[in-house]
Structure formats: C-alpha cells, structure tokens
Amino acid sequence: MNFLVTGGAGFIGSAVCRHLCANPAYRVTNLDKLTYAGNLASLRPVENAHNYRFAHADICDERAVLDILRRDDIDIVMNLAAESHVDRSIDGPGAFIETNIVGTYRILNAALEYWRGLPEDSKSRFRFHHVSTDEVFGDLPFDGGMFVEETPYAPSSPYSASKAASDHLVRAWHETYGLPVVLSNCSNNYGPYHFPEKLIPLVILNALDEKTLPVYGAGANVRDWLFVEDHARALELVATRGRPGESYNVGGNSERTNLSVVETICDLLDTRRPRAGGKSYRDLISFVTDRPGHDRRYAIDASKIGRDLGWAPSENFDSGLARTVDWFLDNKWWWGPIREQRYAGERLGEARKEGV
C-alpha cells in the first residue's frame, strides 16, 4: 500500500509518517512545502527507512502533486498540509485561504485526474483522506453538548472557516465527481514534536526559560486533548478502512480547562526540573487579553470511530502529558533551534475585531 502524506513534516503529519513507516508493507511519500511549521528533524527516526521518501512540494502546485501521485503509484492520499494555528490566522488570514482552501482545491483536482486514469482494481482501492478539525463545528457552551459527525458547521476563526471550506470541497468532489473520499475531524492533539506556538509546548518551554506563561482570558476555555500517536493510529484506520463519503470524529475524551492544563504542566515540571529558589512554576502564570472569537469549549463524541473501526485512545491525559513533558526535557536538540531561529514565544493573534 502506497501512501502520500501531505504536511508530513508538521506535528501530526510526522507522527503519521513515523507510524506508517513501522509497517514494512507500506511505502510512504511525505509531501511538504516546509513552511515555518515544517521540520525535517521530526522525521529523523524514519529518514533512512527503506519505505520512506520526502518530496519538497506545495499542495497548491497541481502539476507537481499529479507527478508525485503517478511516480509513486499512490493508493491513499492523507491530506494534512495546512496552516494550523488559530492565532496566526487572526494576524494573517491570507495564507490560510491559500493553502487550506485553494490548496485543497488543487490537490483534489490532481487526485481526481490521477484517479480517473487508474486501472479498475487500483481505482476501487484509492482513497483521498482529508484530515480536519473539531473547530469547524464552532463554539459549545460550558455546560453541555458534544460534537457528532452530523453537527452543523459554524466556524469562528479564519483558520476554522478555511478548514470548513476545505471539508465542503472534499465532500463536493465525492458527490459530484465520485472521488472516494473519507474525512476525519479531530480534537486538540499534543505530544512530542509539537511546534511551540501551541499552548502545551509553549508553556513547557516558556517555563524552562523562566518566562511568563500566558493564559488567555480567565483560562476557563475547555479543549478535549488527544495524544498525537493515538491520532496517528486513528488516521490509519480511517484512511484504510473508512467508508467512502463518510466522516469520523476523533477525540481523547479528556476535557480540561486551559488553566488546569497549564497548572498540571507546572506541577510536572516542579517535580522533574525544580526551579532555582524553590518556587513553583505556577508563579509564572499570567492572565492576558483573550483571543478574539475564542471558542469556549470543544467536546468530541468519538463513538462512531470506536464502533465502526475499533479505535480507542490508549493514552489518558495524565500519562500523555507526563510523556510529553519528559520528551521536551530530553529533546532540546529539536526545539532549541526552533525557539532561537523561528519562533521565540511572543504573543500572536491579539488583534481586536475592529483593528484587524
């Protein structure tokens, strides 16, 4: 089985490549533009594997994608390439429109042309798996409700709106042209190789640098956290066994307020790397202006993927967060250059609605 993983140099895509390459029956091509978020160092564990190869390309380049699909005789496309950070989408929505919407349109065109030219047996095996987010469903109240696959889309941020648009395009290419697509919508991932613009790695690295730990608003917003390797397993199942035309919600069943996430990280670091002077890292917590359009709560009902594909997360939030903190403590070779050369942890996405 030959996979094309787009965005494979990113956080989740690299976990997917590492996971798939462990199966000698798979061949994996990682197609990535290498934006600020792309990092080939995340592929170090597989870079010399016989079944892994890297292609430096942009999903907006339809010709390049088509050539790679044909060259590598691809059976399954897993489309993870995207601009992924909500705060950056507030500061500069253009790149999100370009990659997440136009790029998805281009890669769908390339996939359709490729699929139409396949012999019948390859044609029936082919899948286009689009990896999406729970953020397309929008804002849940604090006191109840969960996203199911049928929940209407109501995105709040330029990021989630661009992902929602891309999901609609993928479904349209199935309904109109018959392209065999599957979709998955996942909650917040965390784990090793997480780019330190996102809450969990940002807080770990700011704490180690004795910088403040920025909590938006009162820290009451709730996210459902999923360990990235559990997500990679779910994605393999959706791509290989999901029913064409269907979508699958993926979640960790681990709802936490942001403040409790940050406090738990502080407590883990207090034990593992105590501060000089004996104070707790909790003293570095700083409540800052809220994110504009900040969704209060996300919660995923993942019963469909459990029932239909037999998936369940293996890591709970406490064990997964401890593994994550330990990984960052042990792997400065990976994050040190990012903090020095790409992103040092400054506040992003503070623009107010009227000032954008």
Q: Interface with ligand NAD includes 126 (CB under 6 A)?
A: no
Choose the binding region for ligand NAD from 33-41, 142-150, 282-290, 315-323 (rule: CB under 6 A).
Answer: 33-41
Question: How does 78-113 read in b/e, with b if 16+ C-beta sit within 10 Å?
Answer: bbbbbbbbbbbbbeebebbbebbbbbbbbbbbbbbe
Q: Interface with ligand NAD includes 6 (CB under 6 A)?
A: yes
Beta carbons of 18 and 3 less than 8 angstroms apart: no
Number of H helices, E strands in the chain: 13, 12
Q: Interface with ligand DAU includes 263 (CB under 6 A)?
A: no
Give me the least distance between CB of 231 and ligand DAU, in Å please: 10
Quick one: CA torsion of 49, 340, 198, 7, rounded to 10 degrees?
-30
Q: Interface with ligand NAD includes 11 (CB under 6 A)?
A: yes
Q: Is 134 a catalytic residue?
A: yes
Give me the least distance between CB of 71 and ligand DAU, in Å please: 30
Beta carbons of 281 and 204 less than 8 angstroms apart: no
Give me the least distance between CB of 269 and ligand DAU, in Å please: 16
Determine which residue in the list 7, 214, 251, 313 makes contact with ligand DAU, applying CB under 6 A.
214
Beta carbons of 68 and 53 less than 8 angstroms apart: no
Instruction: Specify the DSSP element, H or E, that contains 288.
Output: strand 285-288
Instruction: Specify the DSSP element, H or E, that contains 183.
Output: strand 181-186
Q: Interface with ligand NAD includes 12 (CB under 6 A)?
A: yes
Choose the binding region for ligand DAU from 166-174, 211-219, 235-243, 309-317 (rule: CB under 6 A).
Answer: 211-219
Residues 6+ apart with CB under 8 A from 123: 115
Give me the least distance between CB of 78 and ligand NAD, in Å please: 10
Give me the least distance between CB of 265 and ligand DAU, in Å please: 12
Q: Interface with ligand DAU includes 135 (CB under 6 A)?
A: yes
Percentages (nearest 5) of helix, strand, coil residues in the chain? 45, 15, 40
**Closest CB to ligand DAU among 216 and 328?**
216
**Closest CB to ligand NAD among 234 and 269?**
234
Taking the C-alpha atoms of residue 294 and residue 16, their distance in angstroms, rounded to an integer, is 29
Q: Interface with ligand DAU includes 156 (CB under 6 A)?
A: no
Determine which residue in the list 7, 138, 292, 313 makes contact with ligand NAD, applying CB under 6 A.
7
Query: Residue with the closest Cβ to ligand DAU?
Result: 133
**Closest CB to ligand NAD among 26 and 227?**
227
Q: Is 229 a catalytic residue?
A: no
The 10 Å Cβ neighbour count of residue 69 is 24
Which residue, chain included where needed, has tokens 């998936």?
Answer: 311
**Closest CB to ligand DAU among 34 and 118?**
34
Q: Is 159 a catalytic residue?
A: yes
Beta carbons of 249 and 149 less than 8 angstroms apart: yes
Beta carbons of 142 and 108 less than 8 angstroms apart: no
Residues involved in catalysis: 134-135, 159
Residues at the site binding ligand NAD, with contacts judged by CB under 6 A: 6-7, 9-13, 32-35, 37-38, 58-60, 80-82, 84, 99, 103, 131, 133, 163, 186, 188-189, 195
